[in-house]
Chains A and B, each alone.
Chain A
Amino acid sequence: MFDWFAQLGKNTIEFYARLGREVLLFIQTLLAIVPLFLRPGLILQQLYSVGVRSMLIIIVSGFFVGMVLGLQGYNTLVDFGAEESLGVIVALSLVRELGPVVTALLFAGRAGSALTAEIGLMKATEQLSGLEMMAVNPVNRILAPRLLAGIISMPLLAALFSAVGIFGGYLVGVDLLGVDEGSYWSQMQEKVDFDQDIVNGVIKSFVFGIVTTWIAVYEGYSCIPTSEGVSRATTRTVVYSALVVLGLDFLLTALMLE
């Protein structure tokens, strides 16, 4: 009985110690972002590997999600004779929810896992240690540029996802199922509100960008430096990112609808 109690206390202390370390490292990394602007080369390099190289999966997925929305939306709306509103349905679903959320999930799978594996392997092969001994702080040189690249890329990728999705919905709805083109676009233009819908979507994708990139970077940096440790950290990145994104999405939506 007493052992159990002691173990609980130990676990609690360890949990908070870990949380504290994580927050301190996060603050340290955020502070290290500021001087990065003097070295745009480092940011560009990471924007390419984190953002540009995630574009293909985002575009393809966005296209299919948009087409599915077009199909499903049409089939429901046509029963009510409201198929002219298809554009609104597609655009709102994408801009408010599916754009930020699905992009974040794909982003965690594509860029997040790559970041964790890269940083974890750098740790396992003593490259991070090597940087420290060359008097180069890995937080400034490795973590900060990657975090910044993720924060910049995510909203852009989410916007791309939504734009391509709206086009996919257009192809299915207008070209295939015969919804009136004018209604598709004009109703969308009228009903989608800039502050309520678009800005809120951008805020979501920005928050998801911080969270998913940070989880990826932190898991890599704090992994056990063995092949098994790196593989576990990579898995954790994807699982934690997915859970946190979905949980936060509910919270943010609740706050935004207030």
Chain B
Amino acid sequence: MPEADNNIVRIRDLHFSRGHSKIFNGIDIDIPKGKVTAIMGPSGTGKTTLLKLIGGQLKPQKGTVHFHGENIPAMKTKKLYDVRKKMGMLFQSGALLTDMTVFDNIAFPLREHTELPEVMIRDMVLMKLQAVGLRGARDLNPSQLSGGMARRVALARAIALDPEMILYDEPFTGQDPISMGVLVELIRSMNDALELTSVIVSHDIQETLAIADKIYIISQGKIIGHGSPQEMNESDSPWINQFVHGEADGPVPFHYPSRSYKDDMLAGQIN
């Protein structure tokens, strides 16, 4: 990859299917370094799958996912685990380890991957917790946290190893307005303060448009549009319009594919 290329992740001609259903049918995505990139689309378009492909948890049938110029699907297990140390991922559920306190959860990656003395680990964990505003919650168990707090703890854990890139899986889903505001603010400020690269997968349009630098919209296995939030808002493509303005019917149909309504209703009378 040439040096001038400022993309940390470069996806080309990605094909992925599960059983008979095609999830991605040749998509190209560039994720620029230091920016917040959002990948949006209706539910069930495989946005989470895309994050798993970037993290190497799934292998595509065809296509490449380059991270710093190295193709992730072609990596050996050991190399893949090394590369993952440079990525953090925030799961929708938080994915905190339920048999440990908040403190131990954040200390976990540090204890696994570094030989740091316990005193230093304590300082680092408290700094990460301070960043997400939960230093006082260090002795709680994950079951005692609200959904929003769990996600913030998970965020603190995701930045524990100072990764270069963080992948957010639906960070705003199911959050009350206050937690939502906190998360939106945190994601943007962390990205800038820690010089991270952020990838957000979401279908919460307003929150995502507010913080993203670049947006990709996926539908039915294809990229149907990409550009800055402003470009998306002003786009005249009917696909993008439907999604951004939340219209019930349009190029993405309201009805699940079926035979015609009339035929279906009449079919019941024959028996």
Contact = CB atoms under 8 A, between A and B. Distances in A.
Interface in A222-255: none
A127 B95 contact: yes
A133 B161 CA distance: 12
Contacts of B57: 129, 132-133
A130 B91 contact: yes
A134 interface: yes
A134 B105 CA distance: 11
B98 A135 contact: no
Nearest to A121: B98
A81 B113 CA distance: 69
Contact of B91 (A129, A135, A136, A137): A129
A28 B87 CA distance: 25
Contacts of A181: none
A130 B153 CA distance: 13
A126 interface: yes
A134 B91 contact: no
Contacts of B85: 135
Given A132-B57, A133-B55, A134-B112, A126 B84 contact: no
Interface in A110-161: 125-127, 129-130, 132-137, 141
B81 A125 contact: no
A216 to B, nearest CB: 18
From A132, A134, A137, A141, residue with most partner B Cβ within 10 Å? A134
B112 A130 contact: no
A134 B108 contact: yes
From B57, B92, B167, residue with most partner A Cβ within 10 Å? B57
A149 B40 CA distance: 45
Contacts of A126: 91-93, 95
A134 B109 contact: yes
A24 B256 CA distance: 41
Nearest to B154: A130
Nearest to A141: B112
B95 A125 contact: yes
A199 to B, nearest CB: 38
B164 to A, nearest CB: 13
A134 B80 CA distance: 11
Interface in B89-130: 89, 91-93, 95-98, 108-109, 112-113
A127 B96 CA distance: 6
Contacts of B161: 134-135
Contact of A134 (B52, B77, B84, B167): B84
Given A132-B84, A136-B109, A127 B55 contact: no
A130 B77 CA distance: 16
Nearest to A118: B99
Given A125-B95, A126-B95, A127-B95, A133 B89 contact: yes
Contacts of B108: 134, 136
B236 interface: no
A141 B81 CA distance: 13
Contacts of A127: 95-98
B247 interface: no
Contacts of B92: 126
A21 to B, nearest CB: 14
B264 interface: no
B234 interface: no
29 contacts: A125-B93, A125-B95, A125-B98, A126-B91, A126-B92, A126-B93, A126-B95, A127-B97, A129-B57, A129-B91, A129-B95, A130-B89, A130-B96, A132-B55, A132-B57, A132-B84, A133-B55, A133-B87, A133-B88, A134-B109, A134-B112, A134-B157, A135-B81, A135-B84, A135-B109, A135-B161, A136-B108, A136-B109, A136-B113
* Ranked 3 nearest A-B pairs via Cβ: A130-B95, A135-B84, A126-B95
Given A129-B91, A134-B112, A135-B81, 19 more contacts: A125-B95, A125-B98, A127-B96, A127-B97, A127-B98, A129-B52, A130-B97, A132-B55, A132-B57, A133-B57, A133-B84, A134-B84, A134-B109, A134-B157, A135-B82, A135-B109, A135-B161, A136-B108, A136-B113
Interface of A: 125-127, 129-130, 132-137, 141
